[in-house]
Amino acid sequence: MLSWMSITASAGYAAAKATEWSVTNALRLALAEQGTQGTALHVSYLATDMAANVTAPKSDRAAVARATLDGVEAGLHEVPADDVRKEVQAAPAVGTEALYPQPAGRPALI
């Protein structure tokens, strides 16, 4: 989800994720010329050691793995692994205010 939005505590990480998403799209195009499928996985918090201290809900690793394999089999360009990712990715279509409601006094998405 940090490919599409930033949070103060992880601004550098979010910038890296946005860059990775752009590189993924470029590689997908380049590899398509040789018939290679490129599928990106997008997930918010995953139940791993890296997110052990995060109190927000986390996606189940096995469920994400199944969704990933199903997405690859279906030929998807991107696999939406959880509802948070879907909500965050959809927000820019209605404006950045949806991603960053805090200046208007509304609660943050994450």
Lowest mean pLDDT among 25-29, 47-51, 78-82, 94-98: 94-98
**pLDDT for 15-50, tens place per residue?**
998 899 899 989 999 999 899 999 998 888 888 888
pTM recorded for the entire structure: 0.69
For the chain, how big is the Rg over CA atoms in Å? Answer: 15
* Structure tokens that stand for 55 in this block: 């109190």
Q: How far apart are CA 83 and CA 91, in angstroms?
A: 12
Query: What does 37-57 look like in DSSP terms, one character per residue?
Result: ---EEE-S-BSSGGGTT--S-
Does residue 46 contact residue 62 with C-beta atoms inside 8 Å? no
pLDDT at 82 over 80: no
pLDDT at 86 over 90: no
* Structure tokens that stand for 77 in this block: 């360009």
Q: What SS3 state is found at 33?
A: coil
User: What's phi and psi for 61, nearest 5 deg?
Assistant: -60, -40
pLDDT of residue 75: 93
Q: How far apart are CA 65 and CA 47, in angstroms?
A: 12
